[in-house]
């Protein structure tokens, strides 16, 4: 037995900040201090508070060290682990603490309002050790369904829980499983698939679950296989997630070694196996039919529906597909019951939701909240608010398929129906915060450019329609737009939503429609006044030198890449607006704040 455990974050964010080296240094220093038999060093998955990585948590008191550097390791080992004295200057601090240190992970504002179900093991166990997962009741749910429950009982439990798919559309999970079990009963193969393709800009929820708790997905897929009568599963994960891929491979190997995947699991007569399929990063392969087409070895393009995958999916056989977060809820629902899960959330949106907080937010990271938590609580209480005293302007949910939620809806409870009602959507869980310095026309253009680039090109509305919309937005941000362009955007958006082949194309206009609805005045300013209120769109900017402040130091002229600034030493300089490329180098280099952007 160890008296202390040092948990070091091994998620992608912390690994990129050097956490792997910290693990080696902790082991070396612990051995040097003679503590090898008393203190264990554990590599975990993501703790959630990515802005503070690399994160080190020392148990049993859950002391939370943030932004740990290599030179801090010896001090933590000598002072905390050897002498029992917390290294206070390295402990995570919050502004709300009035300068006091927060010693325990669970005492932080970031974690207080969270309820971790899908993320329950992330940052807690070593994801590469199946014994640690089993120690957290891992595979107990699978054992329960195979020894105590009929397939219909499993499906009924998922139905009663109210779990809806966490991948975007929010379709009832149990209903999908029920269709796959009942509609085709010819004794042929059925399939269980996991969508781990996660391509939304700013989204890293599924990746973090796979990196921190891969066995939960394997267990859940096996439970689903038993429920619908399938013996084969596939996890479709993008190749850009090397840590997740490696840990999945390790987990699958360990599960097979323990007899938890493969033939005759728990001597029940039920057999189930899982294989990995790596995606090349095509955004469209996040759409279920395109994903299945890609697994089959074909070009990843969507197929018309119906028939739906539950009837004819992978290899034209009955198939269920859920995303990583959906799977991560299944074992806990089986163990704790449908009523337990349904007690969280709102009437039509049960349970919790994982969000990747990004953008203009102090606490960038991964959070899990009960459905019905307000956007204000997520941004201000958990996320720590908008940095630098700026005002919250909007939040983008659902990635390129979602919409922008303005400040007027800051107190909206987050669930499927509420977000849809205000022109956004839940999506897979990306939540990007924007402040007063963001231009909403530019934001819409950014997401549409992504969609244009990622369109598979199979259907005309998406391939051509999104391109035409992008061209209009590009003209508007360059000061070449007209009021008629706003009407054209509305017309094109309606046509694409009604006629695109798959859900990705049908939702592509959402960022434009939501920004047109809530920030129409910004569009008008761009096309009528030829001004960008947020001073972001380069084509509408003007850099001007204030004569009263200019000292004639020549620094602006010397740093101008196109030599459009004239003036001699100690004389007021001027900018040739015809030649100016709006790069801002002059303003950035002026030591007297004599240049303004308008």
Q: How far apart are CA 397 and CA 379, in angstroms?
A: 13
Quickly state the pLDDT bin for 424 (edges 50, 70, 90).
confident
Reported as a single tens digit per residue, the pLDDT across 7-34 is: 999 999 999 999 999 999 999 999 999 9
What mean pLDDT do residues 79-107 have? 80
What mean pLDDT do residues 502-526 have? 94
What mean pLDDT do residues 48-65 have? 93
For position 19, what pLDDT does the model report? 95
Q: How far apart are CA 375 and CA 355, in angstroms?
A: 11
What mean pLDDT do residues 267-278 have? 97
What mean pLDDT do residues 218-238 have? 97
Reported as a single tens digit per residue, the pLDDT across 229-241 is: 999 999 999 999 9
* Domains of the chain, each with CATH number or no CATH: 4-107 (3.40.30.10), 130-341 (3.40.50.11540), 352-435 (3.10.20.600), 440-529 (1.20.1440.230), 542-597 (3.30.70.20)
Cβ count near 409 (within 10 Å): 20
C-beta of residue 332 within 8 angstroms of C-beta of residue 341? yes
Strands (E) in 160-251, as ranges, are: 191-196, 232-238
Between the CA of residue 159 and those of 104, 182, 319, 330, what are the distances in Å?
A: 38, 15, 18, 11
What mean pLDDT do residues 146-165 have? 97
99 pLDDT above the threshold of 80: no
Q: How far apart are CA 172 and CA 178, in angstroms?
A: 10
Q: Which residues contact 346 (CB under 8 A, 6 or more apart)?
A: 371, 372, 413, 415
Residue 417, token pair as written in the block? 């129906």
**Buried b or exposed e, range 192-216, using 16+ CB within 10 angstroms:** bbbbbbbbbebbbbbbbbbbbbbbb
If you search the block for the tokens 């469209």, which residue do you land on? 284
Average pLDDT, the chain: 93
Q: What are phi and psi of 557, to 5 degrees?
A: -65, -40
């Amino acid at each position: 037995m160890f008296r202390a455990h040092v948990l070091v974050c091994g998620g992608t964010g912390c690994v990129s900040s050097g956490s792997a080296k910290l693990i080696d240094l902790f082991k070396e220093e612990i051995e040097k201090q003679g503590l090898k038999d008393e203190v264990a060093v554990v590599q975990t998955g993501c703790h959630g508070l990515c802005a503070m990585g690399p994160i080190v948590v020392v148990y049993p008191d859950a002391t939370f060290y943030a932004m740990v550097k290599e030179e801090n390791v010896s001090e933590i080992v000598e002072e905390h682990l050897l002498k029992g004295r917390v290294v206070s200057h390295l402990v995570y601090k919050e502004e709300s603490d009035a300068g006091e240190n927060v010693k325990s992970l669970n005492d932080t504002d970031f974690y207080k309002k969270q309820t971790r179900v899908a993320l329950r093991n992330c940052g807690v166990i070593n994801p590469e050790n199946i014994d640690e997962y089993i120690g957290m009741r891992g595979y107990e749910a699978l054992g329960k369904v195979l020894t105590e429950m009929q397939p219909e009982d499993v499906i009924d439990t998922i139905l009663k829980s109210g779990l809806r798919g966490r991948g975007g559309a929010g379709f009832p999970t149990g209903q999908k499983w029920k269709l796959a079990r009942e509609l085709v009963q010819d004794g042929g193969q059925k399939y269980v698939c996991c969508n781990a393709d996660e391509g939304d800009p700013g989204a890293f929820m599924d990746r973090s679950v796979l990196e921190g708790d891969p066995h939960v997905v394997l267990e859940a897929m096996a439970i689903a296989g038993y429920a619908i009568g399938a013996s084969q599963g596939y996890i479709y994960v993008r190749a850009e997630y090397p840590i997740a891929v490696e840990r999945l491979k390790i987990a699958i190997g360990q599960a097979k070694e323990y007899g938890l995947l493969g033939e005759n699991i728990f001597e029940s007569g039920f057999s189930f196996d899982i294989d990995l399929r790596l995606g090349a990063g095509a955004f469209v392969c996040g759409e279920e039919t395109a994903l299945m087409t890609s697994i089959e070895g074909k070009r990843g393009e969507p197929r018309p529906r119906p028939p739906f995958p539950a009837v004819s999916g992978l290899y034209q056989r009955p198939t269920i597909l859920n995303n990583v977060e959906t799977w991560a809820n299944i074992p806990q629902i089986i163990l704790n019951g449908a009523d337990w899960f349904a007690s969280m959330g709102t009437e039509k949106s049960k349970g919790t939701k994982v969000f990747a907080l990004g953008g203009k937010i102090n606490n960038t990271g991964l959070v899990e909240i009960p459905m019905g938590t307000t956007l204000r609580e997520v941004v201000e209480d958990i996320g720590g608010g908008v940095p630098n005293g700026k005002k919250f302007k909007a939040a983008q949910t659902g990635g390129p398929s979602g919409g922008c939620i303005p400040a007027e809806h800051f107190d909206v409870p987050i669930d499927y129906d509420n977000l849809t009602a205000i022109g956004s959507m839940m999506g897979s869980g990306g939540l990007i915060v924007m402040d007063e310095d963001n231009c909403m026309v530019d934001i819409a253009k950014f997401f549409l450019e992504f969609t244009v680039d990622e369109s598979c090109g199979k259907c005309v509305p998406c391939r051509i329609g999104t391109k035409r919309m992008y061209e209009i937005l590009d003209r508007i941000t360059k000061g070449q737009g007209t009021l008629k362009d706003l009407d054209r955007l509305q017309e094109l958006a309606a046509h694409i939503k009604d006629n695109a082949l798959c859900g990705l194309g049908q939702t592509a206009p959402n960022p434009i429609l939501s920004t047109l609805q809530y920030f129409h005045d910004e569009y008008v300013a761009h096309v009528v006044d030829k001004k960008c209120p947020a001073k972001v769109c380069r084509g509408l900017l003007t850099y001007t030198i204030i004569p009263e402040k200019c000292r004639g130091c020549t620094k602006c002229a010397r740093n101008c890449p196109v030599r459009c600034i004239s003036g001699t030493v100690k004389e007021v300089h001027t900018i040739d607006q015809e030649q100016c490329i709006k790069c801002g180098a002059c303003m950035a280099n002026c030591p007297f704040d004599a240049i303004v952007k308008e």
